[in-house]
Amino acid sequence: MTEEEFLGFWKDIQWPEPKPVYYRLYHNDVGEPLFYSHEDLPGKHIDITPEQFASQDHSVKVIDGKLVRQRQTRITKLIPSKSGTLCHTNDVTVVVAQQPGQYWKKKQNVVDTN
């Protein structure tokens, strides 16, 4: 190869268009994450930052098109039941010894606090 051919090669070469790099989180209809992907695939998705992509966090939710870290908390509350503590029919604060009354027991709910 001559110097002329060498320079001509670099002058004429057509570089392929660089493929866009996607940083995407695909999610379902209610905003729960399905998978992270660099590919352009069918389905609902949002574009995210490389840092968010790198974290591959599945404790997130898509709310109004934004990635929101899903925060959950456990809340314990009393609910009417067939067993538990017998209380007055109309007042949960009054514990009674015998029927008529209403049993109440504790229930734990795990809820999103976003």
Partner 1 sequence: MPIQSERGYVITAQNSDTVDYVACANQLAGSIRHFHPDAEICLLTNAEEYDCDLFNYHKTFAFPLSDNPYANDWQVFGASPFRQTIKLEADMVIASAIDHWWTMFEHRDVVISTGARNFYDQPADSRFYRKVFDTNHLPDVYNAITYWRVSQTAQEFFRLVRKIFEHWTSYKTLLKFPDETASTDLVYAMAAQIMSPERVTMPFATYPRMVHMKRYMIPTQTHDWTKELVWESNPLRINTVAQWGAVHYHLKDWRND
Q: List contacts with partner 1 (CB under 8 A).
A: 73, 75, 77-79, 90-93, 109, 111-113
3-class secondary-structure state, position 59: coil
Task: Determine how many CB atoms are found less than 10 A away from the CB of residue 48.
Answer: 19
Pick between residue 13 and residue 110 the one whose CB is nearest to partner 1: 110
Closest distance to partner 1 from the beta carbon of 85 (Å): 13
Pick between residue 38 and residue 66 the one whose CB is nearest to partner 1: 66
Pick between residue 2 and residue 113 the one whose CB is nearest to partner 1: 113
Cβ atoms of residues 35 and 46 within 8 Å: no
Structural element, H or E, at residue 16: none
